[in-house]
Amino acid sequence: MDNSHKIRLHDTFSAIAPLSENDVELAVQYFTTQTYQPKEYIFHSGDLVSDVHFVLDGIGRYFYIDEQGNERNKSLVRVGGAFTSMGSLIESSPSPFFAQALTECTVASIRYESLVELSRSYRNWGEFLRKLFERLVLKKERREAGFLLLSAKERYQEFLTEFGDESKNIPLRHVAMYIGVTDVTLSRIRREMGLT
């Protein structure tokens, strides 16, 4: 791993939990980096996923394809987030969804078993893994509450708050899928907000 990736790895992980440069140096041997182009798949539905792919740069998405062939965005992932399938990692079951880059996306990948071993061997890595799971649960909880309690416009406003300037890099059709509306509804919301 080159030095610029080590620095990005440290900066990205330190935003989740306190990790020193030495902590990252201990783990660097377990990571590989790869850059995906827009629309390139990180993994497919049906794959057995054994790695956690941490986003160092760019934006991607998780999505399902239903029986009619329609795509449904499960989640959007940006710097500090990660791509994986918990079902694959924990139960060795095929991933039910796809992971795909929306922009050029650089990831640092580690086998889940190696991440768990780091967390058992080094206190700071244990704290990192705990914080990572907490963030995952909170994100899922907030998204679920948004669908149950917020209007489409409020969900779009939440999206804009969460993604800030990065929202401009995400195609509107993916934003619409993410907040659970049609392209037409999102256009109307954007028009009402004076964004078009």
DSSP notation for 9-32: HHHHHHTTS---HHHHHHHGGG-E
Name the strand (E) or helix (H) holding 191: helix 183-192
pLDDT, one tens digit per residue, over 45-102 is 999 999 999 999 999 999 999 999 999 999 999 999 999 999 999 999 999 999 999 9
Residues paired with 105 in a beta bridge: 36
pLDDT, one tens digit per residue, over 146-162 is 999 999 999 999 999 99
Statement: residue 176 has pLDDT above 80: yes
CB 95 within 8 A of CB 50: no
pLDDT confidence tier of residue 144, bands split at 50, 70 and 90 = very high
Q: What is the pLDDT of residue 30?
A: 97
Provide CB contacts within 8 A for 84, sequence distance 6+.
49, 51, 52, 53, 112
- Dihedral (C-alpha) 24, 27, 29, 30: value to the nearest 10 degrees? -130
pLDDT, one tens digit per residue, over 27-49 is 999 999 999 999 999 999 999 99
Statement: residue 169 has pLDDT above 80: yes
pLDDT, one tens digit per residue, over 119-130 is 999 999 999 999
Provide CB contacts within 8 A for 87, sequence distance 6+.
93, 94, 95, 96
Separation CA 47–CA 32 (nearest Å):
19
Q: What is the pLDDT of residue 3?
A: 86
Provide CB contacts within 8 A for 154, sequence distance 6+.
146
- Dihedral (C-alpha) 119, 75, 47, 169: value to the nearest 10 degrees? -100
Q: What is the pLDDT of residue 177?
A: 95
Output the pTM of the full model.
0.92
**Angle in degrees, CA 174, 71, 38, rounded to 5:** 50
For domain 3-136, the CATH architecture is Sandwich (2.60)
Count of Cβ atoms closer than 10 Å to residue 136 Cβ: 15
pLDDT confidence tier of residue 2, bands split at 50, 70 and 90 = confident
